[in-house]
Structure 1
Amino acid sequence: MGQFEDFDFSDADFSQRDIADKSINDLYVESKMTTFRLYLMTSKKQRDGGESAIDDPDSSGGEELPDPQLTNVHVEVASEIATVSSEDPLSISFDCMPDHTTEDNSAAATLASTLSLENVTSEEVVTISDAPAGSILLDIQNYMYDPEIEFEPSQVFGNQDETLPASVCVKNLVIRRGSVFTDVMKFFLKEEFNLRTDTLELRILTERGEDSGGVFRDAMSEFWETFYLKHTEGADVKIPTTVHIMKQEEREAVAKPLVLCFKQEKYLPVQLSRMFLEKCIFDTAPSNEELLESFLGFLPDMDRGLIKDALDNFDGVDENELLDAFSNFNLRVYPSKDNFESL
């Protein structure tokens, strides 16, 4: 319909009434609707005399283009030649042009019209530097020589399966509120799921909601809360436990939701011990200081305060209280000032 500058834009409601001066809250109160839709309205700018901008024959937004009057012109673009035939001025062939330009005759006419028709002689070569400002030639140059696009040299790898892009597969899973952990675990134990290429979309039974990230995060929050409750121990820091009710393949299957949560939604169960996660992911050995910090987070608040006080001043802590705290860990070595930190 014309150039962007030839139009005015405004927000409107369903009745095409301009609502730019109202807030979202005002609109909801006024309409008394649970869902309120906004629309983008466009109108032609009016010039003096009531004539719209795009009705002006001299406006650049018109569809009429000047008839090119060229004989035979070669346009050189980075060693590639574009030829304008005298028989068909609108027939231009570019070996390195994008598809949408070669198929559009208007682009060819624009190219022809941007050249200096009076000064171009037969068989004359016009380079990029000679093109006028705003010429399609400069657009071609920018298209082919975008500084933000870089191509690395091609390489041949040994395992082609790891380098070739695989097709993305979206798998759907219907889960039940209150049984998310069970449903997700059954899915990963039975279904083939490629963590590199596959994505998972969740739908909660009896609840309407399109999974654009929110449903997935909500469901996985319940998944990890159940995992914390049933299969970990600890206060602020959770340590996974190997209990008889969870088989080895089930414990290993928990790794897939862990990776998938972070891959899709950058969701990480932060209550799991950092030492545990680093060991699983990077196979690193924590230092004694890191282990002590993680252990203190594992303890209940009362025992944590007692242990911290004993580390700072062992003689100032009640011995019986200290023994009670350590009895939960089946400690068989009597604590003293010298061995307390290592214990």
Structure 2
Amino acid sequence: MDELIILLRERNIPETTIKRLEEDKIDVSVLLLMTDDQMKSYFPSYGDRLAVMGFCRRQEREPGKRTCRKSKLFERLKSKLTKRQKPDNSQTETQNTTKKHSQRIVRKIEMGWMHHDGQGFVQMRAKKGGGTRKLSVPKEWKRKELIEEAICLFFPNGKNSHGSISEFELDLTNYQEVSLDAESTVGEMYNASKLTMMRFYLTTKKVEKEVETESEEEMSDQMEDFHSNNQDQSLPSTSSGMNDFFPSEMDVIYVDSPVNDTASPFHSTEDHVAEDDLNVSFQSSLVTLPDYLDSSNVVTVLTGDIIGIDEQNLDDTLPLSPEPIAPQTKILVVHRGQIFSELIAHFCDETLTHTQSEVEVKLLLPNGQFEMGHDVGGVFRDCLSEFWQEFYDQCTLGNSFKVPFLRHDFGKEKWESVARIILFGWKKEKYLPIKLAPVILQQAIQGSVKSDLIENFLKYVSENECAVLESCRTDFCSADQEELLETLDNYSCRKIPTDENFKQILEELAHKTLIQEPAYVL
């Protein structure tokens, strides 16, 4: 009976049932004579009944082995009771492991090299001097030390096949291609990310040297003469100077940058004109009084003869029945190096995409002078090219295909401005930002996606992650499972991948990354 009780306790039979068996004096011989219905009153579980009947039959067939069996059962029961009394060793082992990690003075990392090819950053392969290097570095190392170590790896003796290290702008990013904080240590980054292996990338970009051409020098001399002459001339002379920059056959609206109040040829700190000298009238179908000292950043310049009159007689010169207004040209002024913020500020005005007026762009150099060139498409395309490159760097994530992400300083107004820039660039110059993932534009314009989400996602992830995912698509069983789990964890996967569900997981992650996360932006 003792052996039977031990068996029942091993199977977690309730103590009340065991007491009933003892009170009813049910032993092995009685159990062998019971029917299944009779045993059900003691053991409701069918598995428990099978185990008890099997035990009883073995006891009947092998009475000589009862003593050995009994001792083994007692030993097993004793070991179970001992385990219950001992404290949980798993927590202690975890603490010991954590303590070991905290006592390390070095951590293993992976280092790669990404070079800007004019379109975006591309990871350099080993045959081009790049590749993924594994090394152990002190936990206290920061961004500066990591960059120095990366230079030694990829630019031995300060140069490689791409050029000297002095020709590049250097930066260091993490596995998400985000620049590292200068004060964060390797140990702190491991603690924050909880990754088993961290990867860093040295990024290089060619430094563009500004070369001032002879034409720019001539333009600079002409602008200086223009400013000096205006100081000694009356308003009619100033008006004729404006015609050197704009055609005289149409009205021109000059729209200065809403972001920067840098001096322009029409509102210069050197060309200070007294308010009393502005009492003029224009013999034209549309009469607008310009104010060079107005703070509105908008100056309207009208063609026609300029005749100085008294302010009190101004009303007598206005026509009684105005004629139809001729088309106007709006000129957007942006500063080289600040095109991203200034173009967004300009296109916050939704009328720019609906106006019948011609819109042109002029670029101002840091010295406050216009770049040489007329906007017949090329200047605006140059402006758009710089805008979208800055947009990719500041507002998107991804490798070959880019996906916009939410920024706390980008609200509804700014995202709508970006949309107007896309629309205006397409209508005016057939210009589209082709590095944006096609599914982004499809979802924003049509409200649905027709392109392959997985193909877009594979071009969004890094090259190493793409190689891991592609190998799993081809042959899941032979792929590196550890790398796969690490890659899926980077995108917050909540399922264990198998050969059967891997495609579904990939589609779900692609939809979450490309459609759900940028939903507000779209």
TM-score by length of 1: 0.49
- Larger relative helix fraction: 2
In the superposition, the TM-score normalised over structure 2's length comes to 0.33
Larger Rg over CA atoms = 2
